[in-house]
Amino acid sequence: MLREIQCLRVAPLVMLGVCAAWLAGPPAAPGKAALPFRIVPGPVARKGEAPVLAGAGRLTLLGLTIVAEYLEPRARADFIRAVDPGAGDPFAAAPGRPDLYNAFRVTFDNQSSKDVTFHPGNVILMTDRNDEISAIDLTDLYRTVSEKEAADPQAAIDAARSFIFDASTTIPRGRRLTRLLVFGSLPDKWKGLLLHFSFIEIGSEAHTLSLPFHRQILTG
């Protein structure tokens, strides 16, 4: 079930201040080893609040709905194969190595009366520790596949155009588009994240939107 979460901009500093407050949680106990976790939608849960189950963050503004879901490596690879059965996962870690990338499946459902323009270069993943990670573009991806000594890096880049957001993208009114936003590795000790979209244009109006996510410790 999708949990609907909205964090809309009134003014940049006001919006970021409110969202940052939502991210904050109790301080971590020192000296403890990192526990396995997953990334789920919503702000950091306060004491006594029910935990968030798996799902996606969602917000709607002026008829535009944005849905974002964090994908674990296997789900990421499944999504890529669903879009292009012949494409491999260029973000897959080598056997025995930790995964270095964080992917969100993002859907824009434009039921507004105007075309929507989305600029993935203006998206950042922001932690409650004020770290900012920019979305990966095709130039970054070319470097990644080249370092893996792929047989044909350009072919991998051409295939990736169908499943990741890279350049400025227009979603016509009445249309829906789903692709990946991919980020590099996250720093240690964070608790909350904001998937922060700057300058989404609905017609001639620019809007700044954010979706909160947080770390959910896995037990048992």
Contact between residue 15 and residue 208 where contact means Cβ atoms under 8 Å apart: yes
pLDDT at 29: 47
Report the CATH fold assignment for 12-25+34-217: Immunoglobulin-like (2.60.40)
Q: Rounded to an integer, what distance in angstroms lies between the CA atom of residue 137 and that of residue 140?
A: 5
Buried-exposed string 99-138: b where 16+ CB fall within 10 A, e elsewhere:
eebbbbbbbbbbebebebbbbbeebbbbbbeeeebebbee
User: What pLDDT is attached to residue 28?
Assistant: 46
Residue 9 pLDDT? 45
pLDDT of residue 148: 65
In angstroms, how far is CA 178 from the centroid of its own chain?
A: 12
Tell me what pLDDT residue 45 has.
Answer: 74
Note the residue count of the chain: 220
pLDDT for the residue 195: 97
Successive 10-residue mean pLDDT values, the chain, 220 residues: 42 41 47 74 78 78 97 96 90 86 97 96 94 89 70 77 91 97 92 94 96 85
Q: What is the pTM of this model?
A: 0.80
Question: How many Cα atoms within 13 Å fall on the side-chain side of residue 138?
Answer: 16
Helix (H) or strand (E) holding 116, with range, is: strand 116-118
